[in-house]
Amino acid sequence: MDSGHISPSAYDTAWVARIVSNMDPTKPHFPMCLEWVHKNQLRDGSWGDPSRYLVYDRLLNTLSCILALRQWNTGEAQIEKDVLEIFKDRDGNPSTWPGGSSRAISDTLNLYRYCQVAFPGEKILKEFKGFAREHLQNCLRHNEVLDSWSMKKSLEKEVSRALQVPWTMSLERLEAREYIKNYGDNDIWIAKTLYRWWIISGFEDSSISKAKPTETHFGISATLYEPEFETSRVAYTKCNCLENLISYLFDQHHSMNDLALFCQAVKKWDTDPSVINSLPPILKAVSMATYHTLNQMAVQISKVQGIDIFPYLHDLRVKQIEHYMKSRELRGNPHSFNDHVEQRKGDLAYSLIVIVTPPRLVDKYVLLNN
């Protein structure tokens, strides 16, 4: 914006202006963005770059700003019923590029989506919607769903879905699921964040573990799907993946001495962190990643509960790796069925996977155990 480090964009600013405040759902979270939309309408009634005129750019900017003003029920004087007349070509059809010489599929699809948010009296949006729908249907019919600049691999499926399910009938979660089906889970921002966390932690070698951060995240999302539990889903994913990796290492690592040293390193996280440096690379990476992840979660929980639970989480971690070590030492030795059941119950590591997931329950669990 005015004092920022990048040039102002009407489309992006209007998009941000539509974000609802987490303190008051009747107000925007970024009122300065809405104020910017109010102050930066061009003389012809549109929004966009005043130094150059590109129909496609100007049209999407204008529609985005109109949506922002409509959402907050403001700027009635700025939204005239014929504000979109300037975007018609000589034949009276919407023009997505100068002269209307090209009807790009992505442009028309965006236009079709915007036009579904029409208000009483906005006849032009209804006209644009009819044009956009007809154009998209013709492209599907003649197998011409292509853009010279778009790299979307499932654009045809996206267009077909938009035509079959109007905006008024769409559900956010189903739309997200459809997007995942068309473009894959690696295209999702949170999944990418978790994947980057996994790679940065030093676990890019898939041969060391079957843990899959993106699959784990989408698995818990099917159960814990409410928006307010976003942090809990991420915490569950990280803990689950680390637990699977640690369990795998105690089961497959060739050196018992290395595993014993790993146990010592975890026990002395705070008292003697230098022990970590003597570990083999993979065990060192696991120890560091586990420490930093638990410490980060403890900070987040502290903000909610006002208590420091890192010592408690550390104690749980020490007990769990001692359990893994005991399982490794007893491997191949005869033991009773009851001993086997008790050992397997400990292998589930519920305490570290589940307890840190819902921060609001941590204090209750600590009190119960104390």
Structure tokens belonging to residue 4: 């920022």
The predicted-structure confidence for 39-65, as pLDDT tens digits, reads as follows: 998 887 888 888 766 666 787 788 888
Higher pLDDT, 101 or 112: 112
Cα distances (Å, whole numbers) of residue 369 to 312, 316, 321, 363, 366: 11, 12, 20, 10, 5
Locate 368 and state its tokens: 């119960």
In one letter, which amino acid is 268? K
Is residue 91 predicted with pLDDT exceeding 50?
A: yes
Q: Please say whether the beta carbons of 238 and 245 come within 8 A.
A: no
Tell me the mean pLDDT in the region 243-265: 88
Within 188-309, residue ranges assigned H as helices are 189-200, 213-221, 230-252, 256-267, 281-305
Q: Is 91 helix (H, G, I), strand (E, B) or coil?
A: coil
Query: Which residue ranges form the domains of the chain, and what is each CATH number?
Result: 10-183 (1.50.10.130), 185-369 (1.10.600.10)
pLDDT at 123 over 70: yes
Mean pLDDT of 58-84: 77
pTM, rounded to two decimals: 0.47
Q: 55-71 and 105-115 helices cross at what angle (nearest 10)?
A: 20
pLDDT on residue 262: 92
The set of residues, in sequence order, having a beta carbon less than 8 Å from that of 116 and lying 6+ positions away, is 129, 166, 167, 168
> Residue 352 pLDDT > 70, yes or no?
no
Residue pair 214/242 in contact (Cβ under 8 Å)? The answer is no
Rank 154-163, 174-183, 221-230, 324-333 by mean pLDDT and report only the highest.
154-163
Q: What are the φ/ψ torsions at residue 201 (nearest 5 degrees)?
A: -70, -10
